Structure formats: structure tokens, C-alpha cells
Structure 1
């Protein structure tokens, strides 16, 4: 066939690998064309299979370059907008980061071609998807981790989403890679389609099992406010007052009507020490109106030498007198590299200082923090970037949690796809844990997410508006929240054992 002849041309393979990588991004939000994830991987597998090891590594690299270069292009925007760097320097930093991420795909292509290229049921069912999961795990862990664009998230609206409350998005990724390997490796397509017909029929029954249930007549009225402010973090007193006035304009009409009012991250960007008068003023108003205000703040704590800062969430209106502000806050654990702290500080700090890169110096909060009890409801707080770290959220979750709460600042990324990807991952957290989420952002998206991962109500990007709704409390516990990441770790261990065994067996018989 003409298409197979093209596949033998190496330059065509490189071109197709880039295109299929770019194509894979369409499976994620805001595009949400979930079958494209499988198509993109099928093309990658065919390209690797039809090439030698050296070509496979190059093909994998260019697939990753197309995939990450398109899917996280918003990093370039943040370097320009937040970093204040020149376009050339921003491009250089962005390219180096994309190269780093693409090396994981290179390692996949190398190991795939060297050990798992044979078309057999064991490779399709276990080895190839297991290898992908292992490398996803390393990417999510090394250098603080960057667990972005994992294919499990792309299936939030697909027939596979029923897996999330049982085994989590990681196992959905496993299934996507497994399905892709089946599509390419199996010659008997009739058998293949029969297999997947039975699989999706089985999924239909599992999809109708609800691990959680609503508590009748047990709800709370909340208001989420999206101010759509133009500026980023500012320490100018006039700018802060202007920002507060925007949010107070939407707050005033619902005081005493909504039990909880939520402002997003970075609305009070100045240090808590410098904003005590404002905080006491807001706290008194909220207390007298029987309303709780939740918003972001920078908190401080004195250590032996000086003050250390935390990116925090504060809860105002719980009592008239605030004895200790530090006792009514949540402190962020997972900090944004280069945005909130400098990784490998001894090496990178002098270099970043040389190029005048703006550097924050936040400290981590505790990994485990108790849910906040607000109006007799328990809220599990997640601050912005943390929503993508599923393991931390699961370890802080218990059956006593009533709602998930996320405050975010997406203004760093302009009119890009980042806020939609971030929101999609937040939806997956609700689906995995079976709880409604209050997701509040400064310039979009702001939403109330149902326990099944669907949107109950939202405010789109770049709109200044408030969202008021009665949200029902749910109870029950999903298998995934109970067993956490243990099942997928067992799969990884079995995968490694089988891989070692097969390698030794191969040497014996050859």
C-alpha cells in the first residue's frame, strides 16, 4: 500500500510523529475529543514498531515534542507575562523544558522496541501500558513532579470514566495505552471489536453503581466570585484596594444570604502582617452577617532568623475575635517550581538572578492538614496547582469530608488552554472521590463540580460575575479513596517482576 511505503520513509515518520503528538492534545480540554488519545498512541506504536531502535528514539522524541510543545504552550505565556523575560530567552527556557519532558517518551520508545515489540497478548495487556504508567509516575515525581497531560484525564467524558471512582485516573491511562496497543497489534479486528463491545457493555453496568449518595435536605448556600481582575500579584496599596472593591461589590448583596462566600487565590496578595486591619474589618462584617469568607492570603511565621512565608487560604467570620490568624488558615504544600520557590536553589538561583527572573520564596505547609469545619460541613482545601496531585489529595481525604474546595489564580496564562486543562483535572478529583467541588478562579473558570465530574454551574473565562447556588452534601466512599493508589502500585510491581522474568527467559532460550 502507498501508506506503508510512506511509513518506510524516515522523514515522513518524523513528520507523522510530530503531527500525531500535536493531534493527541485534542483529546484534552477544551477540545474534549476523547477517542483521539487512542488514535495518537496507535500511530506512535506503529511508527516505533516499523523502525529500528535509533529511529524509534527519534520518533518518540518528536512525538513528545509535538505533544508537550502544543499541550503546555501556556508556559511560554507565563514566562513572558510573569517572568518579564525577553521572547528569545522565554523560547529557550520553554524548549529546554519540552526536551526534558520528551525524554520520558524517548525512554518509552527505547524500552518498547528493545523488550516489548513482539505482538503478543502479554505485551498488549500488561507490559506496554505498565511501562507507560511507570514513566508517568517518574515524570510526576522527579524535580517536584509535573503530572500534566496524562491521558487518563482526557477520558473524563468517555465511557471509561466509570473507572475513576474505582481505580483512579492512573488506571484509565493504563487502559487507554492497553486499548491502543490492542488496536495496532491485533490482526483479527473482528475479535478485537467483539472484545471491546463486551468491555463497554460491562462498563455500562459498572457506570450505574453509585459509590456515594446525597443527604436529603442537607445543603448549604454558597457564592463564588470571579472578579476578572487584569493585574497579577501586586503589592501596591491602591491596586489592592481596587481589587478588594471589585470583590466586595459582589459580596455585599449576598451577605447574610449565602453561608459561604469564596474569593479566589491572590486577591489579598500582600503579607498577612501588613493586612491585619483589612482582615479584622472583613472578619467582623462576616461574623455579624453570619457568613464565612474564604480567600487566598500570604501568611507568615517567625523562625530562628526571620519570617518565612506560606501561600495560604484564610477563613474569616468564624468568630468575632481572632486570637491567632495563623490558626484559621490552610498552608499550601505543593508549590509551583520557579513561581513560588526555586528548585535546586544552589545551582539555579545565581543563574536566575543573572537574568532578573522574579523569585518568590514560599515555604511548604504540612503534607497532611485537617479539613476545615465551616458551618458544620467539612471542606478539604486544595490550593491551585495542588489539584493535579491526586495522591496528596487522597491522603488528606476521609469519609468525613463533605466538599472539596479549590482556589486558583489562572491569570498567568492569558487566553490559553491551561485553565481548561486545570479545570478538567479538578473534575477528575471530584469523580475519583465522589464529592462536589467548589472551584473558584480569579479570571476563569469558576464552577461548582458535581461528584460525577460534571459541571453543575460555571462562569466562563474573562467574565466578572458571582455564582450563587445551594449545594447538596454527599456521603459514601469510593473504592479509590479507600484504597488510594495501592492497586496501581501493585500493577507496577507485577509489571517489573514479569519484565525481569521475561528478559531472563529470553536469554535462556536464545
Structure 2
């Protein structure tokens, strides 16, 4: 073991290869593989390898770890670039490589800061938790942010997932690094270090069990019958004008026998006709749903003609208030809608579009010129229930989802079109992220997509019903109504910030030593 450590310390390329492989292995900790124990093995190994390095070496080491972790974990992006980008494969790979290189700078900076401070004092050993927290926050904020694949999501189906309702996904990430650093110290340290590590593990595991029991959540005893419609429309056909009506018929045919449900959900842009030009069909759907006492929620593109602006939108048709009848028939521009706020770069807006759009079809995809909706919007009202909405990619932004949930919110709803990513692990990661939002906010989740993963989960993120991928089908379930607010809903990421800040607590010993040294000097004088 010592010889291996020496080899990794002296041979930079060997160290970088090992770190890339360790990072790549973390892909199997996420859905659909869910080997949740992997971070508890991989992260301590990373700590042991990088801890002896100087800051510049640590930066390079962290960069190669990031290449493996983010390169393998986000490899599904290549499916959409290659299939719809209109460029040669080598150019598609180059575009993805540039993205991964950029994202890998953030773990590199975290390890650099850690070793820079640790070189000055051994009491900064745990400061990696804070540096990682700050760098991951930057990754989720700069250039509109891309916080996908954060480490806390690996624990969605694991014991540590119980912390989500208290400290959120970012707090779970901090816990993983505390555990990794403690294991690293125990493996190369004294018996005392091993005892401290065991105590820390016991504290976190106990908290993961107890804190969910202490959350002020309760089920009211009422349930809502919800059905998801999965059209499985090919992306190559979705936006073709001559396929607009056949696509609509598929959703109508799947829905017609199922109007007995309280809420029916179609996925993102299931209706491909622009909303102002779809009045007739929308009015017909509205009347059919209302007559049967159902509310139907669908994705659609809202085109505001006077301003020449497009919005990625969810609208509610049918019984909105929970009282059967036609007292509020559908009208274009009704306020009971949600307009997507956090747009996907390239897919929904193109930065520097005057320069990039002529370069390749990748930068000129259909419907890639959207306007943003407001950051916070009223809940959708469907059959007397209030639903906090998020469209596709923006479910990854926990602060935004949290800002749209209030005490009266019954459910989280997100619609998506993951057809872009084919039979890859991307859609499964997307569902895992959505489930984490349910765990953080203590509300059941409704997720409808074009070809999967469509499903529903309870307030603990446990899947209640799920549809098979790549099949035109429906899936239904009775969702409980939950009341009460989680600590994460009340406090947001502040507990996670505090937890990360505690990593600097050992530095107090450094200041105490300095004070004692000054006192001794004065006494000598």
C-alpha cells in the first residue's frame, strides 16, 4: 500500500489516470445504477491521493478527477449533440469536451483552495468541505449555471438521503465530504482519529434516521387521482407541421378513456401548435375535461404575437377550481399558467446568437429563442389542488423550486421532453434530481415526459408509479395530500452553509495556540 502511495505521489500521469477512473466510477452511484455506497469508497481514496500534494499539483489532480466524474456522468449529452447537432462526430465530441473541461475547473479550484490553506496549517484539513461547497455553488450560478450531477444526489435512495428534508442535497454533499475526510484521517492516523471517525459516522447516520421523523409533516388522509400520459413522439417528428394533428390525436386517444382521474398531465410541449392558434382544440379539451370533473395540465408554446415572444409554458384545462361545470371556460392568456424561467442554454436560448447561429445547426434548433417567465409564480390550480411547477431542466435548481412552494402547495409538478437523450442514463438522472426536490420540500412529485422517465413519488421521494420508457402509455396513482413545511423549505440552504462553515472550526485551535504563544512571550519578558 505504501509503495502504491509513493508511486501516485511521484508519478503524475499515473495519479491522474487513477483519479479519472475514480471519478468515472461515480457514474454508477447515480440512477439508474444507484450504487449509493460508492462515494463512501471513492471520495476517501481521492482525499488520500490529493492530500499530500502541493496546491498546483492538487489543482491538476482535481481537474482530472473532474474529467472522469463529469465526463462519464454527463456523457449522455453526446446523444443529443450527435443526433440533432448537424455536425461531424469529431465536432460533437469537441463541443462536449469543451463543456466537460469547463465544468472540471470547479473541482480543480476546490482542491487547490484546500491544499493552499492546508499547507499553511494542518488545522485546515476539513476545509475541503467549504471549498467544495463554494465551487459547486459557482458551478450552479455562473453563465446561468449547470449544477447537474452534484454528489448529494447519489444518496437519494440511501440512508443519508434522510437528511434531505433538513439540509437539502447540498448539505448531503457536505456530509459526504466530512465522512470522506474522516475516513482518510482514520486510515493514516492514530486510534484517536479512528474513534472520532466512528463517532462522526454514528452522528450522521443517527441524524439521517431521526431528522425525518421530527419533520412537521403529516398526511391529511385525502388523496388525488393523477394520471400521466406518455406520448412517445419521435423527436424527429415532433415539430413537423404535417405531424401536428397525428401527435395531438395520440394524446387525445390515450386520454379519452381516463377522464375519471382528478388530474391528467401531458408532458412538455405535448401540444406543438402555438397557443394562440390552437383555440379550437384547446376549448374542446377544456370542455371534455370539465364535463368529466377532471383537470388537464399540458405543456405548450405560448406565442405572444404583439411582442413576438415565445414562452415555454404549462396551462391548465378543464376543472380548475374543483367544482364541476363550465364557469371558467378556456381563454387564451388566462393567468392559470406557468412560464419557464430557467432556460436551457443552446436548447432554449443561444448566448451570442448573432455569432453562433450561423456556425452550425446545433445553435439553431427549433424553438431556441424563448423568453423567461418570472422567478416566482403562483401555483397552478387544478381541480382544487395547488401545484408548484418546474419545466424540464429547471427542476435541478432547488432554490427556485423552493421559492415556488408555499404552505398551501399540494404537489410538485414537472414536465419534460428527455427524448433528446435516447436510451441513456440522462433521463434517469433527471428523475432522481426531481425526486430529491420532493424529499427536500416534503411534497409528492408528479413528473410527465414524452418517452420516459414518467412517474410519481411520495413526499419521501419513494416512487409510487412509473411508466416504461419508449412506449406510448399512461400511468396513474393515488397521491396523498401532505401538509406542514420541512426545515429545508423554511431555511433553504442556510443549514448546509453552516455545516460547510463548520469545516473551519478546527482553525480555532490555531488561534488558541497563537494566543498562548503570545502570552508565554509576555511572561518571559
TM-score normalised by the chain length of structure 2? 0.89
Instruction: Identify the residue that residue 248 of structure 1 maps to in structure 2.
Output: 252
Cα-to-partner distance string for 1:377-413 (whole Å, 9 max, x where unaligned): 1111111111100001111111110111111110010
Q: Following the alignment from structure 2 to structure 1, what is the Cα–Cα distance between the partners of residues 317 and 171?
A: 39
The answer as to 2:375 corresponding to 1:351 is no
Q: Is the CA contact 1:108–1:135 (under 8 Å) kept in the aligned structure 2?
A: yes
- 1:86 alignment partner in structure 2: 88
2:322 corresponds in structure 1 to: none
CA deviation map 1:259-309 (0-9, x unaligned): 211111121123112222221221222222222111100002245xx4111
**SS of 2:330 mapped into structure 1:** coil
What is the alpha-carbon distance in structure 1 between the residues aligned to residue 504 and residue 198 of structure 2?
A: 29
2:289 matched to 1:281? no
- The aligned counterpart of 2:417 is 409
Q: Which residue is 1:162 aligned to?
A: 162
- Give the superposition deviation at 1:238: 2.7
Match of 2:21 in 1: 19
1:237 aligns with 2:241: yes
Identify which of 258, 262, 265 aligns with 2:265: 262
Residues 314/432 of structure 1: CA separation in 2 closer, same or farther (3 Å cut): same
**How much has 1:120 moved relative to structure 2?**
5.1
Tell me the distance in 2 between the aligned counterparts of 1:201 and 1:451. 20
Shift of 1:199: 3.8
CA 1:90–1:121 in 2, change beyond 3 Å: closer, same or farther?
same
Identify which of 294, 298, 301 aligns with 1:298. 301
2-structure distance, mates of 1:502, 1:241 = 71
Structure 2 residue runs of 5 or longer lacking an equivalent are: 320-325, 518-525
Q: Deviations over 1:78-123 (max 9, x none)?
A: 1122322221211111111101001111111211221125895653
Which of residues 319, 327, 331 is equivalent to 2:335? Answer: 327
Which residue matches 2:134? 134
Displacement of 1:2 in angstroms is 3.4
Preserved contact between residue 54 and residue 119 of structure 2 (Cα < 8 Å): no
Alpha-carbon separation, structure 2, partners of 1:177 and 1:117: 19
| 1:202 shift after superposition | 4.5
- Do the aligned partners of 1:64 and 1:105 also contact (CA within 8 Å) in 2? yes
Consecutive unaligned residues of structure 1, counting only runs of 5 or more, are none
Q: Is the 8 A contact 1:140 1:147 kept in 2?
A: yes
Provide the rounded CA distance (Å) in 1 between the counterparts of 2:484 and 2:106. 38
Q: Aligned equivalents of 2:156 and 2:121: distance in 1? A: 30
**Does the CA-based 8 Å contact 2:316-2:381 persist in structure 1?**
no
Structure 2 SS opposite 1:440? strand
Deviations along 1:303-358, one digit per CA (max 9) or x if unpaired, are: 5xx41110000111144533333423210001101100013x2xx53133222332
> Hey, what does 2:521 align to over in structure 1?
none
Give the corresponding residue for 1:373. 381
Count of residue pairs the alignment pairs up: 500
Instruction: Report SS of the residue matched to 1:103.
Output: helix
User: Relative to structure 2, which stretch is displaced further, 128-137 or 42-51?
Assistant: 42-51
Give, in angstroms, the shift of residue 165 of structure 1.
0.7
The equivalent of 2:208 in structure 1 is: 203
CA distance in 2, matches of 1:118, 1:59: 20
CA deviations over 1:351-386 (Å, ceiling 9, x no partner): 332223324110000111011222111111111111
Q: Secondary structure at the match of 1:400?
A: coil
Alpha-carbon distance change, 3 to 110 in structure 1, aligned in 2, over 3 angstroms = same
Aligned counterpart, 1:315? 316
Listed one character per residue, the Cα deviations across residues 140-198 of structure 1 (whole Å, up to 9, x for unaligned) are: 00000001111111111222112111111111111001111111123136412344235
CA contact (8 A) 1:331 1:365 kept: yes
CA deviation digits over 1:457-494, x for unaligned, max 9?
11132122111222221111111101122333455677
> In the alignment, what sits opposite 2:97?
95
